[in-house]
A and B are shown apart, each in its own frame.
Chain A
Amino acid sequence: MTVGQSVNRKEGRDKVTGAAKYVDDYHFQDIWYGKTVRSTVAHAQITGIEFLAGFDWSTVVLADYRDITSRNIVALIYDDQPLLAESLVRHVYEPILLIAAPTKELAELAAKHVHITYKKLPAVLTIEDSLSAEQKIFGDDNVFKSYTVTRGNVEDAFQSAEVVVEETYHVGHQEQLYIETNGIIATAKSDGTILIQGSMQCPYYVHRAIKELFGLPDEKVVVVQNVTGGGFGGKEEFPSVVAGHAALLAKKCGHPVKIVYERGEDFVASTKRHPAVIRHRTGLTRDGRLIAAEIDLTFDGGAYCTLSPVVLSRGVIHALGPYKCPNIRVTGKVVATNTPPNGAFRGFGVPQACFASEMHMENISRKLDISPVELRRKNMLHQGDYTLTGQQLTYSVGTQQVLDAVLERSDYLARRSHKQPELSNKRYGIGLSFYYHGGGFTGSGEEKIKGQAAVELTAEGTVRILTASTEIGQGTRTIFSQIVAQELGLRPEDVEFEENDTSKVPDSGPTVASRTCMVVGRVVQMAAASLKEEMAKRIASLAQCQASEIQFEGRHLLWQKDGEIISVSFAEAAERCMSRTGFLKTTAQYSSPPGIKWDDVTYSGDAYPVYAYAADVVEVEVDMDTFEVKILKVTTATDVGKAINPTLAEGQIEGGTVQALGYGLFEEVAWKDGKILNNRLTNYIIPTSLDIPDMETVLIENPYPYGPYGAKGIGELPMDGGAPALVAAIADAVGAVVTEIPATPERIMEAMEKLAVEA
């Protein structure tokens, strides 16, 4: 068995020796450097662009929107975002003009000599301003998209509720903060082909965006993913912008053009997690059973739509959490503001929804004086239950298991009841969160994408995988090679990968939505199974046996003939299989599990083929003089379906959990007039090794029948539950519930003052 083993990361050696080449590590002789001139105002008409004297403008090449030969858009959902602003700017940092120069110094100097004048327009900078629609910046109401999902009879149910709990929760922006900033190199070839290479999650998104910009056919755009230094959603749609800029400059200046953002620019230019205001109103029986719920989510989309409708949709579907409630109405909208567009970030709408729903459970438990555990047990989803969208959960429902495991491993009950003597100014607190995350695209998404992957035999007699799923650190290459090796009786090291190049690999769909292992991994498994079948067929005809008799084991093909076991090495079998055709390649395409139904109009049905479940326990110590929070211990339990590679699965969970703790504790973007005040690592704070304690990570395997070997998607799940567990622990320590994250010392101080006033 190789599946289920913690085999070493496929590209591990390259990554520990410095051999792995990221985009900025490539250098070409005649390369030029691209620089972006951006808006300094939030909402304005551009009245003029001056090129100041004192600079020799003949030494650089300039490009603006007029150089775009087809459509000035960043192709995505609404196509409302221009690659370069024309007459109107809708947010600070919006790209207006591009400069290419033979050195970075010259490009920077040129940019210093550009002066843009504006006629300012009123700017909409907050959700509240946008909702009032006094200033219209998108349609009639500033709403990009809204959804309503209803089940049961909400009004009547509230009438019969014995207790009603109501609260509003706020979350701010979060920056993905991959340590490698965005970077692209574009080359325009003489035959009109545009080559793009760089840091990205989704080569085919970039491929489409470049085709749209220049009106090119498929084959005239080639996109290659380089080793990518982290994405977390931040390199899902945004690299299309950088690639568009670099391509435009490369076409105009005739040199390959490299654009690698420095940190401050990456921070302001790229997308972030959507801020949100989420209101919960819940009707319960006195003993804590949910009978009615109204949840309203408002997300700040920023100046352009990007992926906001899809982010919101996921937030809406996950708004209640993994609980039953027969009568519920969830409304959601994402609104436009004159701030930089928000977009994909690990969790994709769920961390916002989950913070609100889990903190609301904390508030309910306090109001009803029911323990947080009992409240969850009373309302949690079990196999056979229905979700918010009316989806019946029929398999792989690990709710009970994750809750039991996290409670046991953390010793939650004993620790919570253990009242410490308050000798010092430090208070101990323990908090719980319980959550789920749907794997793959929402609703009919996977059916539309029809992700493909292929497997082929190599001339050396090994196997090669062809997929557009990118390795961004999460382990794509390692787990895919394990899956294929398992199917074919090989070792993971016998499996290689075709370069992630759109001219060579099929479109597997984007590397997002926790779908790489669960969805594309399944397609890879199917492709490998077809290859195996085809090989068996060909060998059987040569060996004059039945194809079904041939076993693939230990890098050999084995079968019995006249009571004797015949064995041929895989390499030799591969050679024989290719002797006539010269190659053997099998391609597979995703199809949904049987019985999956989704209605895009009523937003009902099977929102996801399956959910992964998790529970976190966070323990903290709060200094009652300073209100500083020290995290003492974190325990997580996750139902992963099947861990293809336990070490990699744990790595995903631990890393995601720490991002979630950062979100809950100190990650916050500060704004002034639509400008970001803390666009640097000195002032946008992510956790260091000293901020995070050791973690216990429990993997629970509750196989999903339609995933590869039972695996479910867990890439995003660990981003959802860390913040509410942390804030619940703070509440346990200080007695006050903070309803806005990050839970800074100032906010904790405020919550305690509010509590004192109420008391």
Chain B
Amino acid sequence: MAIKIVVNGQDLEVSVSPMKRLLDVLRQDCYLTGTKEGCGEGECGACSVLVDGEVINSCLVPVCQVEGSEIVTVEGLAENGKLVPVQEAFIKYGAAQCGICIPGMLMAAQALLDSKELSKQTPTRYEIREAIAGNLCRCTGYMKIVDAIEAAALSTLEKK
């Protein structure tokens, strides 16, 4: 079955089984291996991507359900090699250790930064923790990740 999706701004048509997981379509058919599989059952969030602006677990989504949707993966964050604030902050604050959860973590963080409420004020640390509560990290203890998102939120707000 031919399915049309928009991935990182590009119109794509993939010829796959409609029940193929979005995660597998991204990794195998779109050659975007940045999105990771950590558990395959929606618990760890390593496979998080944005679908029409909302963060979801791509290991649980049959691709037929996102036909026509706009999908953003970790590869789609930076523009022409220029990192977005949350990527910069993750590097600066040491938020990435082994790095396997980071693509998903970044998507959850970006969804928070993109949310409407944020146009007025930065999220609290608790709100940041809530936003990444579906993304497990075993390396960092979350401190540096929260620090990085907080800093990215501040710099995003300052730019607005």
Complex contacts, A694 vs chain B, CB 8 Å: 125, 143, 146
Q: How many residues does chain A have at the interface if contact means C-beta atoms less than 8 Å apart? A: 57
A680 touching B144, Cβ below 8 Å: no
Query: Considering the chains assembled together, what is the distance between the CA atoms of A688 and B100 in angstroms?
Result: 16
Chain A 11-29 interface residues, beta-carbon cutoff 8 Å to B: 11-22, 24-25, 27
Complex contacts, A25 vs chain B, CB 8 Å: 27, 33
A179 touching B138, Cβ below 8 Å: yes
- Distance between A14 CB and nearest chain B CB, rounded to angstroms: 8
Query: Considering the chains assembled together, what is the distance between the CA atoms of A15 and B104 in angstroms?
Result: 11
Judge whether A752 is part of the interface by a CB distance below 8 angstroms: no
Judge whether A650 is part of the interface by a CB distance below 8 angstroms: yes
Residue of B nearest to A21 (CB): B33
Query: Considering the chains assembled together, what is the distance between the CA atoms of A657 and B144 in angstroms?
Result: 13
Contact bitstring B109-141, A, C-beta under 8 A = 1, else 0: 000000000000000010011101111111111
Chain B 135-160 interface residues, beta-carbon cutoff 8 Å to A: 135-146
A17 touching B78, Cβ below 8 Å: yes
A472 touching B98, Cβ below 8 Å: yes
Judge whether A686 is part of the interface by a CB distance below 8 angstroms: yes
A651 touching B139, Cβ below 8 Å: yes
Complex contacts, A13 vs chain B, CB 8 Å: 83, 91
- Distance between A39 CB and nearest chain B CB, rounded to angstroms: 23
Query: Considering the chains assembled together, what is the distance between the CA atoms of A263 and B43 in angstroms?
Result: 11
Complex contacts, B136 vs chain A, CB 8 Å: 179, 681, 686, 688
Known pairs A654-B141, A659-B138; A15 contacts B99 (CB<8 A): yes
Chain A 231-289 interface residues, beta-carbon cutoff 8 Å to B: 231-232, 262-263
Complex contacts, B129 vs chain A, CB 8 Å: 689-690
A655 touching B133, Cβ below 8 Å: no
Residue of A nearest to B104 (CB): A179
Query: Considering the chains assembled together, what is the distance between the CA atoms of A694 and B145 in angstroms?
Result: 11
A18 touching B91, Cβ below 8 Å: no
Q: How many residues does chain B have at the interface if contact means C-beta atoms less than 8 Å apart? A: 55
Among the 9-residue stretches A133-141, A222-230, A508-516, the one with 4 or more Cβ atoms under 8 Å from chain B is A222-230
Complex contacts, A19 vs chain B, CB 8 Å: 34
Instruction: Please pick, from A12, A22, A657, the residue contacting B100 in the complex, using a CB distance under 8 A.
Output: A22
Residue of A nearest to B102 (CB): A15
B91 touching A8, Cβ below 8 Å: yes
- Distance between A686 CB and nearest chain B CB, rounded to angstroms: 6
B90 touching A232, Cβ below 8 Å: no
A695 touching B141, Cβ below 8 Å: yes
Query: Considering the chains assembled together, what is the distance between the CA atoms of A650 and B141 in angstroms?
Result: 10
Complex contacts, B27 vs chain A, CB 8 Å: 25
Query: Considering the chains assembled together, what is the distance between the CA atoms of A231 and B98 in angstroms?
Result: 9
Instruction: Please pick, from B38, B102, B133, the residue contacting A688 in the complex, using a CB distance under 8 A.
Output: B133
Known pairs A17-B83, A18-B73; A680 contacts B39 (CB<8 A): yes
B37 touching A647, Cβ below 8 Å: no
A229 touching B34, Cβ below 8 Å: no
Instruction: Please pick, from A12, A179, A181, A648, the residue contacting B101 in the complex, using a CB distance under 8 A.
Output: A179
Contact bitstring A639-657, B, C-beta under 8 A = 1, else 0: 0000000011011001111
Chain A 272-328 interface residues, beta-carbon cutoff 8 Å to B: none
Complex contacts, A180 vs chain B, CB 8 Å: 36, 38, 98, 100
Judge whether A474 is part of the interface by a CB distance below 8 angstroms: yes
Query: Considering the chains assembled together, what is the distance between the CA atoms of A263 and B97 in angstroms?
Result: 20
Complex contacts, A11 vs chain B, CB 8 Å: 99
A651 touching B142, Cβ below 8 Å: no
Residue of A nearest to B101 (CB): A179
Residue of A nearest to B90 (CB): A16
Judge whether A390 is part of the interface by a CB distance below 8 angstroms: no
Query: Considering the chains assembled together, what is the distance between the CA atoms of A688 and B128 in angstroms?
Result: 12
A650 touching B144, Cβ below 8 Å: yes
Query: Considering the chains assembled together, what is the distance between the CA atoms of A178 and B139 in angstroms?
Result: 8
Known pairs A179-B137, A263-B39; A692 contacts B90 (CB<8 A): no
A658 touching B93, Cβ below 8 Å: no
- Find the residue from A655, A657, A686 having the highest chain B CB count within 10 A: A655
Query: Considering the chains assembled together, what is the distance between the CA atoms of A648 and B94 in angstroms?
Result: 7
Q: Name A residues whose Cβ lies closer than 8 Å to a Cβ of B.
A: 6, 8-9, 11-22, 24-25, 27, 176-181, 227-232, 262-263, 472-475, 647-648, 650-651, 654-659, 680-682, 686, 688-690, 692, 694-695, 697
A-B contact pairs, 12 of them (CB 8 A): A9-B96, A16-B90, A17-B74, A18-B103, A19-B34, A21-B33, A179-B38, A179-B136, A228-B98, A263-B41, A472-B98, A654-B142
